[in-house]
């Protein structure tokens, strides 16, 4: 079962039951922070979590996300550079 | 949508498709002799078809759809047990929507509801708990279904019920684990797989080390992946890179969500509430050892098997597959859905024979819904 | 006021005084039909023009909950039938309204529904001219069921039909998709979702009239109710024998509808709408059609979402975000939420 969606933790609604209000693209639902209660609940407010069947199952590591995207963008630029170089080479070939 | 939209960026997808093409060429993968990559998890199957990734990747890359669909592998006898419980007048049977249309020998939960059983769809086991709190005179049963992604949710719900002393809540436990069927698949000498895309949300809970045996014992690469199209393409590129470089490792493409050692709180809750059955039946795959979970005796008060005398194997009855159903062969990647004699004929979404056509992430349903291979059946 | 009951009882359906009081106070006093015979008697000047045709449609409404953000079952019943007339190019004239009431329904709820219907009909320039009421035992109906039938007139020369659709025609919707379906899912409470969404429930005959005036070549229109845009297009494609190719990037969707769909694992193409039409027109009139729609309140989100094509006749496909196309098929049953 895999359908999980990133959501932002907005507020703690019931600390005794470890419940919080989370928002996904403007839609709000109470979720349980039990899986991520290793830190005081208040510190989770404002963080992004992977939400699955009403539980915040993991806190999304924003730095890691940014690193992944950056690596992919670099790869894209490298490819473009290679492609441009290859085009340049072909142009040179053609003009000889 | 943050953390989603960026991973659906067409520019990044194009970059990765180009990278995949280069890598596929470098390992000599062609349409006639493709690299076989199995995506284990049904959610990945669904994403591949929804975003058309199978049509976009280099023709030398072939996706083999694995058995990671907990609805698809649910034995018919267990569906019958669900209906038996649900038909009791005192029971409110709660379930995820995915399970509603799976056929047992007496029809599906949807059909049982039409006959009068009080069956309700919920999004979370917490909602089932709430129903139990609000209707103390009824027995609320939650159909616990799913892999390790979902198992912790059921565990936390049972722990909450125990804390509150709820007397009218129980779980019909059908939770299963991912590594065991993969081991069974890899042990089959007929299986020709070159690499795996690993289930990212299972990894979120159990970490990456439970997949170590795949490279260590079987020499195959596995990349644990996220569910957005860029994640999947990235994972395919990483698998191909391993193959190209002669490596076999566990890699984590989904590091923003998957911690190497999993989620300690979730793992602890699961260990507290559940133990492993010696063996469990997987529809289409047969009995697999140590692959199914049951509720520990300490929490027997929340075990529907105890409460309603429907223990696994209690009636020692294994229901044979319907005539002509080839779900097992499709699920293990031996044949494509379109190669099943019943696909599009005796087995359609309106009249499904087997679970792969009923579950929205079953390979056959995905093929049908997204139409990639409809033509082949006609 | 003779009616003192707070809840509907079987007596209110019995044909006697209790029923007469209910009908007079709750229905007749608000709808004010012309005359109180068993039938409405209507003059037919509107139909006399040579080539004018009578349009006649009926629809039943069973939505639960009966009241939801942006509307109620009454508003749905009036708009739904008006829209069924409008998408055929008809000017709606008269409606009937029949009610099946479950014993125990709050009369205050009934009054709100009726008031809603009267308001909507008045705003649309349509009269509710006849009706009926029945009461059934508790459990035999889910609160309130409403059936509305509608009569309209199609002007001479207007001939909207799916079979007129040609490859190359533009496929246009008047605003974001799935609002109503998402609202109902959230309002039912099963999934404990809170959203700021409102149903898109609206009467669209004004929109249709404006579009037909600006783009007389419009081939056909449908309202995208149950089964969403996908179902309406599949019907049109099948009747027309042409293919339809949607562009996923062009689909208008509110962020919150996306959110509901991502959480529950649903496809917005299949969510119900109650104020959305899909119309098909020659591509050289698409600009005029869009301008006409965007000038009106229920059309400000109008956009082209795809085209009719010669390929894959009778089939609807969609070009995805990264290229590549996939089928957009008819639903088998209801779309169910999933967690896998």
Instruction: Report CA torsion sign: C71, C74, C77, C82.
Output: negative
pLDDT of residue C231: 97
Lowest mean pLDDT among B37-46, B116-125, B218-227, B341-350: B341-350
pLDDT of residue B144: 97
pLDDT-derived band of residue B155, with 50, 70 and 90 as boundaries? Answer: very high
Tokens (6 digits) for C167: 């490859």
Q: Find the residue in B nearest to A63 (Cα).
A: B256
Strand locations in A1-96 (E): 5-14, 19-24, 27-32, 48-52, 55-59
Question: Looking at residues A8-13, what average pLDDT do you find?
Answer: 98
Q: Find the residue in C nearest to A30 (Cα).
A: C192
pLDDT of residue A95: 65
Neighbouring residues of C327: CB distance < 8 A, sequence distance ≥ 6: B369, B370, B371, B374, C315, C316, C317
CB contact under 8 A, A27 and C192: no
As beta bridge partners, residue C59 has: C148
Question: Looking at residues C3-16, what average pLDDT do you find?
Answer: 90
Both A12 and A56 in a single domain?
yes
* Interface predicted TM-score (ipTM): 0.93
pLDDT of residue C1: 61
Both C79 and C181 in a single domain?
no
CATH code for position C60: 3.30.1330.10
- Share in percent of chain C as helix, strand, coil (round to 5): 35, 25, 40
DSSP character for C330? P
3-class SS of residue C1: coil
CA atoms within 13 A on the CB side of C126: 36
Report the residue from C256, C265, C339 with minimal CB separation from A26: C256
Question: In B, residues 203-232, which contact A (CB 8 Å cutoff)?
Answer: 204-205, 227, 230
pLDDT of residue B320: 72
Neighbouring residues of B95: CB distance < 8 A, sequence distance ≥ 6: B82, B109, B119, B120, B121, B122, B142, B143, B145
Both A37 and A56 in a single domain?
yes
Both C198 and C306 in a single domain?
yes
Residue B374 pLDDT exceeds 50: no
Q: What is the pTM of this model?
A: 0.92
* Inter-chain Cβ pairs, chain A and chain C, closer than 8 A: 44
Question: In B, residues 161-190, which contact C (CB 8 Å cutoff)?
Answer: none
Among C289, C226, C274, C224, which Cα is nearest to C251's? Answer: C224
Residue B337 pLDDT exceeds 70: yes
Measured CA to CA, the distance from residue C288 to residue C291 in angstroms comes to 5
Question: Looking at residues B112-135, what average pLDDT do you find?
Answer: 96
Both A18 and A48 in a single domain?
yes
Domain boundary (C154, C178, C199) is at C154
Among B146, B73, B65, B75, which Cα is nearest to B367's? Answer: B65
Measured CA to CA, the distance from residue B164 to residue C281 in angstroms comes to 62
Asked whether the beta carbons of C169 and C283 are under 8 A apart, the reply is: yes
pLDDT of residue C189: 82
CB contact under 8 A, A52 and B227: no
Both A9 and A49 in a single domain?
yes
Q: What percent of chain C has pLDDT over 90?
A: 83
Residue C338 inside a domain? The answer is no
pLDDT of residue B329: 84
C181: closest CA of chain B, how far (Å): 17
DSSP character for C23? I
Q: How far is CA B285 from the centre of its chain?
A: 13
Lowest mean pLDDT among B107-111, B115-119, B149-153, C335-339: C335-339
Range(s) for CATH 3.40.50.11750 in chain B?
A: 5-45+54-70+179-252
Report the residue from A26, A30, A52 with minimal CB separation from C259: A26
Residue C18 inside a domain? The answer is yes
pLDDT of residue B259: 97
Q: Which chains have at least 3 CB atom pairs separated by less than 8 Å from chain B?
A: A, C
Measured CA to CA, the distance from residue B323 to residue B333 in angstroms comes to 20
Which region holds residue A18: left if phi is over 0, alpha if psi is between -120 and 50, else beta?
left
Both A11 and A25 in a single domain?
yes
Strand-pair category, A27-32 with A19-24: antiparallel
Q: In this complex, is the C-beta atom of C216 within 8 Å of any C-beta atom belonging to chain A?
A: no
Count the neighbouring beta carbons within 10 Å of the beta carbon of residue B345: 12
First to last CA, chain A: 60
Tracing tokens 């809970």 back to the chain, one arrives at: B205
Give chain C's largest Cα–Cα span: 67
Give me the helices (H) in B277-373, please: 304-307, 327-331, 355-358, 363-370
pLDDT-derived band of residue B318, with 50, 70 and 90 as boundaries? Answer: low
Q: Each residue of B42-54: b (16+ CB within 10 Å) or e?
A: bbbbbbbbebbbb
Residue A1 pLDDT exceeds 70: no
Asked whether the beta carbons of C172 and C278 are under 8 A apart, the reply is: yes
Domain boundary (C101, C135, C154) is at C154
* Inter-chain Cβ pairs, chain A and chain B, closer than 8 A: 129
CB contact under 8 A, A3 and C191: no
B75: closest CA of chain C, how far (Å): 17
Strand locations in chain B (E): 35-41, 61-68, 91-95, 119-121, 139-146, 169-175, 195-199, 222-225, 250-252, 274-276, 279-282, 286-289, 293-295
CB contact under 8 A, C191 and A29: yes
Question: Looking at residues C106-115, what average pLDDT do you find?
Answer: 96
Please report residues of A whose CB lies closer than 8 A to that of C340: 1-3
Measured CA to CA, the distance from residue C194 to residue C186 in angstroms comes to 6
Q: Is pLDDT larger for residue C128 or for residue B378? A: C128
Among B81, B89, B85, B37, which Cα is nearest to B63's? Answer: B37
For the residues of C225-237, what is the DSSP string, one character each?
-TTHHHHHHHHHH
Q: Tell me the CATH architecture of domain B76-177+261-307.
A: 3-Layer(aba) Sandwich (3.40)
Residue B317 pLDDT exceeds 90: no
Question: Looking at residues C300-322, what average pLDDT do you find?
Answer: 95
Neighbouring residues of B176: CB distance < 8 A, sequence distance ≥ 6: B70, B73, B146, B147, B280, B282, B291, B292, B293
Selected from 3.30.1110.20, 3.30.300.30, 3.30.565.10, 3.40.50.11750, the CATH number assigned to the domain covering B5-45+54-70+179-252 reads: 3.40.50.11750
B121: closest CA of chain C, how far (Å): 7
pLDDT-derived band of residue B102, with 50, 70 and 90 as boundaries? Answer: confident
Both C146 and C166 in a single domain?
no
Phi and psi at residue A49, in whole multiples of 5°?
-130, 155
Q: Find the residue in A nearest to C186 (Cα).
A: A27
Instruction: Render pLDDT for B267-315 as a digit per residue (tens, 0 to 9).
Output: 999 999 999 999 998 887 888 999 999 999 999 999 999 999 998 866 5
Measured CA to CA, the distance from residue A48 to residue C174 in angstroms comes to 34
Instruction: Render pLDDT for C256-290 as a digit per residue (tens, 0 to 9).
Output: 999 999 999 999 999 999 999 999 999 999 999 99
Q: In this complex, is the C-beta atom of B126 within 8 Å of any C-beta atom belonging to chain A?
A: yes
CB contact under 8 A, B43 and A37: no
Residue C213 pLDDT exceeds 90: yes
Domain of residue C128 covers 10-154
B86: closest CA of chain A, how far (Å): 22
Both A67 and A93 in a single domain?
yes
Lowest mean pLDDT among A55-64, C15-24, C132-141, C326-335: C326-335
- Best of A2, A7, A26 to mutate (most C CBs within 10 Å, chain C): A26
Question: Looking at residues B134-154, what average pLDDT do you find?
Answer: 97
pLDDT of residue A5: 95
Both A67 and A56 in a single domain?
no
Both A53 and A35 in a single domain?
yes
CATH code for position A10: 2.30.30.140
Q: In this complex, is the C-beta atom of B160 within 8 Å of any C-beta atom belonging to chain C?
A: no
Measured CA to CA, the distance from residue B187 to residue B184 in angstroms comes to 5
CB contact under 8 A, C340 and B98: yes
Q: Find the residue in B nearest to C264 (Cα).
A: B123
Among A7, A53, C335, which Cα is nearest to B146's? Answer: A53
- Share in percent of chain A as helix, strand, coil (round to 5): 45, 35, 20
Measured CA to CA, the distance from residue B105 to residue B74 in angstroms comes to 13
State the burial class of residue B378 (Cβ atoms within 10 Å of its Cβ: 0-12, 13-18, 19+): exposed
Instruction: Give the Cα-Cα-Cα angle B55, B56, B61 (nearest 5 degrees).
Output: 80
CB contact under 8 A, C338 and A3: yes
Phi and psi at residue B191, in whole multiples of 5°?
-75, 125
Measured CA to CA, the distance from residue B209 to residue B169 in angstroms comes to 34
Q: How far is CA B79 from CA B74, B112, B170, C67, in A?
A: 7, 11, 17, 36
Report the residue from B56, B110, B359 with minimal CB separation from C322: B56
pLDDT of residue B312: 83
Domain of residue A43 covers 5-60
Q: How far is CA C176 from the centre of its chain?
A: 15
Neighbouring residues of C212: CB distance < 8 A, sequence distance ≥ 6: C89, C158, C218
Please report residues of B whose CB lies closer than 8 A to that of C320: 51-52
pLDDT of residue B378: 37
Both C170 and C149 in a single domain?
no
Both A30 and A40 in a single domain?
yes
Tokens (6 digits) for C270: 């299949």
CB contact under 8 A, B8 and C321: yes
For the residues of B234-279, what is the DSSP string, one character each?
HHHHHHHHHHHTT---EEETTTTT--TT--HHHHHHHHHHEEE-SE
pLDDT-derived band of residue C203, with 50, 70 and 90 as boundaries? Answer: very high
pLDDT of residue B372: 53
CATH code for position C320: 3.90.650.10
3-class SS of residue B301: helix
Measured CA to CA, the distance from residue C134 to residue C42 in angstroms comes to 25
Lowest mean pLDDT among B39-53, B215-229, C281-295: B39-53
CB contact under 8 A, B153 and A3: no
- Best of B123, B146, B228, B364 to mutate (most C CBs within 10 Å, chain C): B123
Both A46 and A85 in a single domain?
no
Both C113 and C204 in a single domain?
no
Report the residue from B152, B153, B256 with minimal CB separation from A60: B256
Range(s) for CATH 3.40.50.11740 in chain B?
A: 76-177+261-307
CB contact under 8 A, C263 and A29: yes
Report the residue from B44, B123, B201 with minimal CB separation from A4: B201
Lowest mean pLDDT among A69-78, B19-28, C65-74, C77-86: A69-78
Both C276 and C301 in a single domain?
yes
Q: Is pLDDT larger for residue C153 or for residue A77? A: C153
Question: In B, residues 231-270, which contact A (CB 8 Å cutoff)?
Answer: 234, 253, 255-259, 263-266, 269
CB contact under 8 A, C194 and A3: no
Residue C332 pLDDT exceeds 80: no
Tokens (6 digits) for C333: 């049953």
CA atoms within 13 A on the CB side of B92: 20
Residue C16 inside a domain? The answer is yes
- Mean pLDDT (chain B, rounded): 92
Question: Looking at residues C140-156, what average pLDDT do you find?
Answer: 94
pLDDT of residue B373: 44
Both C142 and C219 in a single domain?
no
Please report residues of C whose CB lies closer than 8 A to that of B123: 190-192, 263-264, 337, 339
Both C117 and C175 in a single domain?
no
State the burial class of residue B326 (Cβ atoms within 10 Å of its Cβ: 0-12, 13-18, 19+): buried
Quote the number of domains for chain C: 2
CB contact under 8 A, B256 and A64: yes
Residue C204 inside a domain? The answer is yes
Among A78, B349, B271, B41, which Cα is nearest to C331's? Answer: B349
Chain A residues contacting B via beta carbons under 8 Å: 1-6, 8, 17, 24-25, 30, 32, 34-38, 48, 50, 52-55, 57-58, 60-62, 64-65, 67-69, 72-73, 75-76, 79
Instruction: Render pLDDT for B218-230 as a digit per residue (tens, 0 to 9).
Output: 999 999 999 999 9
Residue C100 inside a domain? The answer is yes
Report the residue from C259, C320, C340 with minimal CB separation from B361: C340
Tokens (6 digits) for C254: 């509110």
pLDDT of residue B352: 82
Count the neighbouring beta carbons within 10 Å of the beta carbon of residue C5: 13
Both A32 and A51 in a single domain?
yes
pLDDT-derived band of residue B103, with 50, 70 and 90 as boundaries? Answer: confident
Quote the number of domains for chain A: 2
Which region holds residue B289: left if phi is over 0, alpha if psi is between -120 and 50, else beta?
beta
Residue B376 pLDDT exceeds 60: no
């Amino acid at each position: 079962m895999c359908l999980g969606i990133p959501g932002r933790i907005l507020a703690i609604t019931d600390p005794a039951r470890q419940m919080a209000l989370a928002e996904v693209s403007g839609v709000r639902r109470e979720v349980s922070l039990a899986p991520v209660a290793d830190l005081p609940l208040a510190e989770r407010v404002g963080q992004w979590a992977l939400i699955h069947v009403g539980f915040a199952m993991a806190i999304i590591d924003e730095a890691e996300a940014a690193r992944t995207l950056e690596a992919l963008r670099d790869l894209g630029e490298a490819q473009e550079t290679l492609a441009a170089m290859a085009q340049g080479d072909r142009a040179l070939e053609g003009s000889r | 949508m943050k953390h989603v939209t960026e991973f659906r960026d067409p520019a990044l997808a194009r970059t990765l498709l180009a990278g995949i093409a280069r890598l596929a060429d470098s390992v000599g993968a062609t349409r006639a002799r493709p690299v076989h990559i199995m995506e284990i998890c049904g959610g990945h199957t669904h994403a591949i078809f929804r975003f058309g990734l199978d049509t976009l990747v280099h023709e030398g890359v072939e996706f083999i759809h694995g058995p990671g669909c907990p609805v698809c592998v649910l034995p018919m006898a267990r569906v019958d047990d669900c209906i038996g419980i649900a038909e009791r007048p005192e029971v409110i049977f709660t379930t995820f929507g995915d399970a509603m249309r799976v056929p047992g020998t007496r029809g599906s939960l949807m059909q049982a509801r039409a006959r009068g059983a009080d069956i309700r769809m919920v999004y979370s086991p917490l909602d089932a708990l709430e129903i139990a709190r609000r209707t103390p005179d009824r027995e609320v049963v939650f159909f616990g279904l799913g892999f390790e992604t979902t198992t912790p949710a059921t565990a936390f719900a049972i722990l909450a019920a125990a804390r509150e002393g709820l007397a009218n809540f129980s779980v019909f436990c059908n939770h299963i684990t991912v590594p065991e069927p993969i081991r069974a698949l890899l042990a089959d000498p007929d299986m020709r797989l070159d690499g795996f895309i690993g289930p990212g949300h299972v990894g979120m809970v159990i970490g990456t080390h439970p997949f170590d045996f795949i490279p260590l014992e079987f020499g195959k690469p596995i990349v644990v992946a996220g569910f957005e199209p860029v994640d999947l393409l990235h994972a395919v590129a990483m698998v191909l890179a391993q193959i190209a470089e002669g490596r076999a490792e566990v890699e984590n493409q989904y590091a923003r969500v998957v911690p190497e050692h999993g989620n300690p709180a979730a793992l602890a809750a699961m260990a507290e509430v559940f133990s492993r059955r010696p063996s469990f039946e997987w529809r289409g795959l047969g009995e697999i050892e140590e692959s199914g979970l049951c509720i520990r005796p300490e929490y027997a008060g929340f075990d529907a098997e105890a409460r309603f005398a429907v223990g696994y194997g209690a009636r020692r009855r294994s229901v044979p597959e319907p005539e002509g159903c080839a779900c097992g062969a499709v699920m293990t990647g031996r044949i494509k859905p379109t190669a099943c004699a019943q696909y599009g004929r005796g087995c359609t979404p309106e009249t499904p024979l087997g679970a792969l056509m009923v579950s929205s992430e079953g390979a056959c349903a995905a093929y049908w819904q997204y139409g990639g291979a409809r033509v082949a059946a006609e | 006021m003779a009616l003192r009951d707070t809840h509907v009882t079987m007596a209110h359906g019995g044909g006697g005084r209790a029923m007469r009081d209910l009908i007079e106070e709750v229905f007749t006093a608000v709808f004010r039909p012309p005359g109180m015979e068993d039938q409405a008697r209507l003059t037919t000047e509107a139909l006399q023009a040579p080539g004018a045709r009578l349009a006649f449609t009926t629809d039943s409404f069973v939505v639960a909950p009966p009241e939801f953000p942006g509307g109620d079952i009454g508003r749905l019943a009036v708009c739904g039938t008006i829209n069924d007339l409008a998408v055929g190019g008809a000017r709606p004239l008269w409606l009937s309204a029949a009610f099946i009431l479950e014993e125990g329904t709050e009369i205050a709820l009934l009054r709100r529904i009726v008031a809603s219907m009267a308001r909507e009909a008045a705003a649309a320039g349509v009269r509710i001219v006849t009706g009926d009421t029945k009461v059934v035992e508790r459990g035999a109906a889910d609160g309130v069921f409403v059936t509305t039938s509608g009569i309209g007139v199609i002007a001479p020369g207007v001939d909207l039909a799916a079979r007129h659709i040609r490859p190359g025609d533009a496929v246009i919707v008047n605003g974001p998709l799935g609002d109503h379906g998402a609202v109902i899912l959230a309002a039912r409470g099963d999934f404990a979702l809170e959203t700021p969404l409102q149903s898109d429930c609206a009467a669209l005959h004004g929109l249709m009239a404006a579009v037909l005036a600006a783009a007389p070549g419009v081939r056909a229109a449908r309202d995208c109710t149950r089964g969403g845009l996908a179902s309406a297009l599949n019907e049109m494609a099948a009747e027309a024998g042409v293919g339809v190719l949607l562009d996923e990037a062009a689909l208008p969707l509110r962020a919150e509808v996306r959110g509901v769909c991502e959480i529950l694992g649903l496809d917005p193409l299949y969510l119900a709408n109650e104020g959305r039409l899909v119309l098909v027109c020659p591509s050289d009139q698409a600009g005029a059609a869009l301008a006409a729609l965007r000038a009106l309140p229920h059309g400000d989100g109008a956009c082209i979402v795809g085209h009719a094509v010669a390929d894959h006749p009778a089939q609807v496909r969609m070009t995805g975000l990264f290229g590549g196309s996939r089928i957009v098929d008819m639903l088998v049953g209801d779309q169910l939420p999933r967690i896998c």
